[in-house]
Chain A
């Protein structure tokens, strides 16, 4: 039978996929995608804990995480479009104003 451990392992796998994306990508749009993966992985974990402990708080947290993700995308995409118009590139290396 599927228990809490199965879901937590799945959460861990998805979270590490997102972390790999955050680390190996330098395109800012891809970084946003990886952030979405991280948020979704955590959501699965919250809902699984909520189910197996019989507590609704986990689902509430997942609900607010979805709200935060929506507003993050709205602001982030606006900034990204502004940066693309100014620089013509969404590469992370183009953000280095001071060449350190």
Chain B
């Protein structure tokens, strides 16, 4: 009973938050709603006995990624409303039809593949974090190392890309501040 209530509560909250993200005109509201939705999704992970992923979801998504977006937004003009023009209707209709077909395929996929065999079965009376550690560092060791290298490359790329022309930008702002001071 508790599980049913929690599921429907989290489902309603997540759908509401993500709808705000998609429909909102203000970038700041969209970001806050996205952070809320991430937290509610971690609730699903706890419901599904995946405690490790729930914690990772909170730490990585709501902590790191949202903080990165928040820092990135300092570079953009976020107080202004996002103005968007819809392009040709024909492209939109084609995409809607394609996404409808995609939805049908996604929802009917478990019916076709009803004979799924468990590769790494979940053992009773062993904690989720312990099981994940065992599987991650035996069967998925090479993907894990590759993911680490990928994160390192992404970090260096992010630093290099974002720090380009940083000093010039700051110089312009200093001049503007000086001009304002002189005009007073």
Contact = CB atoms under 8 A, between A and B. Distances in A.
Given A44-B44, A55-B119, A55-B122, A82 B162 contact: yes
A54 interface: yes
A8 B110 contact: yes
Nearest to A28: B76
**By CB atoms of chain A within 10 A, which of B31, B48, B118, B155 has the most?**
B48
A71 B161 contact: no
Contact of A51 (B7, B50, B87, B96): B50
A64 B143 contact: yes
Interface residues of A, number: 70
A33 B106 contact: no
B65 A21 contact: no
A71 B153 contact: yes
Given A73-B69, A90-B76, A40 B103 contact: no
Contact of A8 (B7, B107, B118): B107
A10 B31 CA distance: 22
A87 to B, nearest CB: 12
Contact of A78 (B48, B86, B122, B160): B160
A27 B86 CA distance: 11
Contact of A70 (B34, B102, B154): B154
Interface in B91-144: 92, 95-96, 99, 102-103, 106-107, 110, 116, 118-122, 131-132, 135-136, 140, 143
Interface of B: 3-4, 7, 11, 14-15, 18-19, 21-22, 27, 30-31, 34, 37-38, 41, 44-45, 48-50, 52-53, 56-57, 60-61, 64-65, 68-69, 72-73, 75-76, 82, 84-87, 92, 95-96, 99, 102-103, 106-107, 110, 116, 118-122, 131-132, 135-136, 140, 143, 147, 150-151, 153-155, 157-162, 164-165, 169
Q: Which 6 A-B pairs have the closest CB atoms?
A: A78-B161, A71-B154, A74-B158, A21-B22, A55-B118, A56-B120
